[in-house]
Structure 1
Amino acid sequence: MLPWIQLDRATIPGDGGELRLKQRGSEFSIMLGATELMNSRLSGSEETLATLGCAHIAGRKGARMLIGGLGMGFTLRAALAALPDDVSVVVAELVPAVVDWARGPMADLHAGTLDDPRVTIHVGDVGALIRSKAAAFDAILLDVDNGPDGLTRASNDNLYSHNGLRAAQTALRPNGVLAVWSSAPDSHFTRRLRDVGFVVEEVSARASTKQRGARHVIWMATKR
């Protein structure tokens, strides 16, 4: 078996620890300590996040989507495949090196999506971007952590707090959707979404595109 080779490392702003990019043959992995955050072989639930978000805004002219977290680009790639030409997509990525990796060693995996004319890359905190907007997006798709528990960066908890969810509501247009990816269920988060007035649906999604392996959770929270 081929050995893993570490290609690069990057510090997460805000005392979030260090990401490591590793490669084994054509397979890539992004690690935080001993925890694997993402693997290029497992894209199923990230693609489902995009598919559900795109279905919610289908038919809206000039729709705007915000994707929080570039990662390995699975959500962005699936969204662009489903969205029409008049939709604009903002991708907020906190760690500049992740964007560099997308244009460098993982360029084939991203398949030119960063250069799509519908796409704008925002290097910075997606939470700050959300708080600065009002009625700006038809869909906000968040995959910035392992879920609403702030694993990679404690301040990510602010995204999923009552105040963070109210900010997301404000940033959404009427009947807009906040879609949140998680590696596991979280009943407390479901309750917080409902507390601030979202209509909530929990969707189970397989990690693998072959519909095998771990089950992840996607919350679809619609603004009334």
Structure 2
Amino acid sequence: MTAVDDCPVVLDRRDGPYGEVVLRRHGALLQIIANGCFLMDTSDGRSERLLVDAAREALDERPEPTVLIGGLGVGFSLAHAAANPRWGRITVVEREPAVIDWHRDGPLAQVSAGALADARTRVVETDLVSFVHDTPDTFDALCLDIDNGPGWTVTEGNGSLYSPAGLAACARVLRPGGVLAVWSAKPSADFEETLRNARFRQVCTREVPVSRGVPDAVHLAVRPG
């Protein structure tokens, strides 16, 4: 890689409803930056795929379960869900119009074009925090990947989602026995306890080792039947 190739190139920069969002290319990778905070890139995707697979495994006896994916991101979670014919309706909530555009008509279509064309897929442009409080719809699984974890949110308002009231709203959109899966940049014993205090059952954490630092994590919990 040359020195020029090693420098990130900004492909798009926009002022969105929650601040600045940037799409960069760094070598072969595409990266999303929000308000100067690195969110994700297209380098791996193992933990995003685990987020979806762990939820589906927990619903093994349900035919064609529905899933709500919180955050479109670089598209790994959506693409992986759509690649599995055992999922039924797939709803993705994304609050940044720029991110949706990058998938529909921009560079991130390389990840998600097939999934967006899938008849099961619906993309809703709104804030997930508001959506889980207001939607009349219910789902078998809710896969959250809108932050770097419960303790490292992209914007301050997202923090309420991991509070007792926010988790009650998540439980509200889940059918009895439905699964909540939450992506995090590191495991959190405190968040596990918060889930148990919110009356979720079968709380556990699955880890994905990374090349440096603490592992990525997926927190899993089941709404009581």
Aligned to 2:102: 101
RMSD (Å), alpha carbons: 1.8
For residue 112 of structure 1, give the secondary structure of its aligned residue in structure 2. Answer: helix
Aligned to 1:88: 89
**What is the TM-score when the length of structure 2 is the normalising length?**
0.89
Q: Identify the structure with bigger relative contact order (alpha carbons < 8 Å, sequence gap 6+).
A: 1
Deviation, 1:163, is 0.3
> Judging changes above 3 Å, is the alpha-carbon distance between structure 1 residues 135 and 4 closer, same or farther for their aligned structure 2 residues?
closer
**Corresponding residue pairs, total:** 217
2:20 and 2:165 map into 1 onto residues whose CA distance is 27
Aligned-pair identity in percent equals: 35
Q: Which runs of 5+ in 2 are unaligned?
A: none
Aligned to 2:209: 206
2:133 matches 1:131: yes
> Judging changes above 3 Å, is the alpha-carbon distance between structure 1 residues 83 and 158 closer, same or farther for their aligned structure 2 residues?
farther
1:94 and 1:32 map into 2 onto residues whose CA distance is 12
**Which 10-residue stretch deviates more, 126-135 or 19-28?**
126-135
2:199 matches 1:219: no
Aligned to 1:8: 12
Deviation, 1:17, is 3.2
Deviation, 1:108, is 1.2
Do 1:203 and 1:219's aligned partners in 2 also have CA atoms closer than 8 Å?
A: yes
Aligned to 1:141: 143
**What is the TM-score when the length of structure 1 is the normalising length?**
0.89
Q: Deviations over 1:123-153 (max 9, x none)?
A: 0011211112467110000000111135311
Aligned to 2:80: 78
2:99 and 2:127 map into 1 onto residues whose CA distance is 13
Do 1:64 and 1:89's aligned partners in 2 also have CA atoms closer than 8 Å?
A: yes
Q: Deviations over 1:135-194 (max 9, x none)?
A: 711000000011113531111011111001011112111110110000012232221111
